[in-house]
Structures are given as structure tokens and as C-alpha cells.
Amino acid sequence: MDIAQLERGIVKGDRRALSRAITLVESTRPDHRTAAAELIEALKGANGTPREALRIGLSGTPGVGKSTFIEGFGGMLTGQGLRVAVLAVDPSSARSGGSILGDKTRMDQLSRDPGAFIRPSPSQTHLGGVGRRTREAVALCEAAGFDVVLIETVGVGQSETVVAEMSDLFVLLLAPAGGDELQGVKRGIMEIADIILINKADGDLKAAASRTCADYSGALRLLRKRPQDPKGFPKAMMVSALEDSGLDAAWAEMQALTDWRRENGHWSARRAAQARYWFQQEVRQALLAQLETGPARAALRELGDAVAEGKTTPAIAAAALLDRIGAPGAGA
């Protein structure tokens, strides 16, 4: 694996090099992990930061119209001369093989657009792994000069949090609700959303979309004010991905929000906090990985038996285990 060659290819914007590099960061083979880490480091550039793209996290339940939205929205951006990369975080094994290319028909035009790069989500492993490789894929796309990186997720389990932690903007896509009650949107998701888009605001669904939008606008106003928001944000808006309506207005709001955040120091503060978050995740995962090694497993079994038999307490056994695998400081 020639890392320097891969690096040059990516910086030049060579899509094959980018694809190969993403495959590399997705690999769990130890030598690949080492090479991937080297590549990411090399791409950071002299001043310590790679070229910055606008990273947009996009979440929504199955069928809400994510693929259709990305097709229309992505096409609008490439039409303005912007280069757009689309990545997916998909933690559900049922959809292994990738949601994005699975419905390539819905992104038919974008997948053939020279200004766009679409990468399907690889078959799943644990979410920790999904987070790391997607984050690294984002870094690769940035280094390759993409202006916008869209990170899609269906929002299973913790995937929204994972995506939010690697996005500059988090967009939640919702469908018009039947009644006037709020859909079962988790409060935590509402709290991380920067813009809520009520999709399918067309035809028979338009009136319902309008009500839903009003409901969410109200709900957003009740949330605690966040320092990273100018007046009027977070906000709810209506779009129709199918009819390509409202997409330009949504983009204008995203730009207004990011401009404000850049000018007020929130953009870089958020990226710094995210870097810290991912560092901590890496440490956690490395420690957890240690538990999967032979000696740790043996100790887990052995000390587990001792605890089960009442010979020692869970706290004392845990301290003994951490001590034995060389990770002291069990808070003993």
C-alpha cells in the first residue's frame, strides 16, 4: 500500500484514489488501520487542519425521503458548481450492503453527476467502528476538495449522535404527521437539530406538512436556547424533495447559519469539541478492545467465577482485572 501515492491522488481529487482510501479506512485489519492512520495524518496538511468542507448530517426515519432529498439537494449544489460527497452511517445489519446504493435509482442522476461522489455504507460492525470510519471518510472527502459532505443516517440507536458529532450542521427530515400531535421524535434528536425539514410538502400532503411545520416551530421555540444559534434558529421549514421545492430556501438558511457561526467563533469551537470527543472515543474503544484479548478474557472468566461464587466482590475483582491487564486506576 503506497500511502504517499494515495495521498497525492486524493489531494488531486482523483476519485479512484478516494475510493481506495475509504476502503482502507473501513478495513479492520491491523496493518490497514496503521496505514489509514498514517494517511489521515499526512492529509492534515501543514497548518494542522485539512481543507474544510461544510459537513451536513442528515437524519430521518425510513421512507421519509432522505434519498430523494439528497438527489435533489445534491443536484442543486453541483448545479451551483459545488462538489458534493455523500456518505452514510447505517448501523442496522438488516440493511447491510448499504442503504445508499441499495436505492441507487433514487439517486440516479446524482450518482452519475461528475460533481458528486456517493459512497454506500459498508456492511455493519459495531457502532463505534461505524463512527470512526465514517469520520475518517469525511476527512478524506474534505482533503479531496469536496465543498459539502452529506452524512446520512436512518437514526437507529445512537447513530444520530454519532453523525451529529461529525457534522457542522445537523438536519432532521420529517414527514407530515397525520394528526396534530408531534411525531414520536426523541427529545434528544430535537435538541441536536439545527434545521428541521418537513418533507413531502406537496399535493395532498401539503396541508398536513404545514400543520406539522407549525407544530415543530412551536416545539423548537420551547427548547432551551443554545449559544451556537442566532435568532430564529433552530428552525422548521417545508420542502418537497420530489418537486424540488424549498431546497434553495433550505440551503440559504444553512448558509446563513454557518456564516453566523463562523463569524462568532462557534464553527471552530464545535470542531474542536468534536476532535476532543473523538479522541475520548478512541481511548474508550482501545480500552474496550483490550478486554477482547486472550489474557483479559481469561481473567474476566476467572474473576467472574470468583464473583459469582461469592469469593470476592465485583469492585475488588474489577480492580484486580484492570491491574492484571495493565490498565490500573480502577478507582479502587
Ligand X SMILES: Nc1nc2c(ncn2[C@@H]2O[C@H](COP(=O)(O)OP(=O)(O)OP(=O)(O)O)[C@@H](O)[C@H]2O)c(=O)[nH]1
CA distance 136 to 37: 9
Under 8 Å between Cβ of 247 and 241: yes
Among 9, 65, 74, 115, binds ligand X (CB under 6 A): 65
* Residue 154 binds ligand X, judged by CB under 6 A: yes
Determine how many CB atoms are found less than 10 A away from the CB of residue 269.
13
Residues in the interface with ligand X (CB under 6 A) total 20
* Residue 202 binds ligand X, judged by CB under 6 A: yes
- Report the residue number, 73 or 267, with the smaller CB distance to ligand X: 73
Among 9, 56, 60, 67, binds Mg ion (CB under 5 A): 67
Q: What are phi and psi of 265, to 5 degrees?
A: 80, 0
Which of Mg ion, ligand X, none lies near 56, with the C-beta cut-off 5 to 8 A by kind? none
- Shortest Å distance, C-beta 23 to ligand X: 23
Among candidates 167, 170, 166, which has minimal Cα distance to 190?
Answer: 170
- Report the residue number, 17 or 70, with the smaller CB distance to Mg ion: 70
CA angle 230-196-99, nearest 5°? Answer: 130
In the range 68-107, which residues lie near ligand X by CB under 6 A? 68, 99, 103, 106
* Residue 59 binds Mg ion, judged by CB under 5 A: no
- Shortest Å distance, C-beta 171 to Mg ion: 15
Measured in whole angstroms, how far is the alpha carbon of residue 197 from the centre of its chain? 18
- Shortest Å distance, C-beta 205 to ligand X: 6
Helix (H, G, I), strand (E, B) or coil at 65: coil
In the range 224-263, which residues lie near ligand X by CB under 6 A? 240-242
Q: Give me the residue whose beta carbon is nearest to ligand X.
A: 65
CA distance 96 to 107: 18
For the record, the C-alpha cell of 203 comes out as: 399535493
- Report the residue number, 108 or 263, with the smaller CB distance to ligand X: 108
Which of ligand X, Mg ion, none lies near 65, with the C-beta cut-off 5 to 8 A by kind? ligand X
162-201 footprint of ligand X as x/- string (CB under 6 A): -------------------------------------xx-
* Residue 153 binds Mg ion, judged by CB under 5 A: no
Length of the chain: 332
Under 8 Å between Cβ of 67 and 100: yes
In the range 98-117, which residues lie near Mg ion by CB under 5 A? 103
β-pair partners for 212: none
**Of the listed pieces 58-66, 111-119, 257-265, 296-304, which binds ligand X according to CB under 6 A?**
58-66
- Shortest Å distance, C-beta 319 to ligand X: 45
For the record, the C-alpha cell of 8 comes out as: 497525492
Residue 169's Cβ-count burial label (10 Å; 0-12, 13-18, 19+) is buried
* Residue 161 binds ligand X, judged by CB under 6 A: no
- Shortest Å distance, C-beta 156 to Mg ion: 13
- Residue 309: CA count within 13 A, CB half-sphere: 7
Residue 59's Cβ-count burial label (10 Å; 0-12, 13-18, 19+) is buried
Which of ligand X, Mg ion, none lies near 134, with the C-beta cut-off 5 to 8 A by kind? none
What is each CA distance from 117 to 43, 163, 258, in whole angstroms? 19, 18, 23
Which residues would be at the binding site for Mg ion (CB under 5 A)?
66-67, 103
Q: Residue numbers of the site for ligand X (CB under 6 A)? A: 60, 62-68, 99, 103, 106, 154, 199-200, 202-203, 205, 240-242
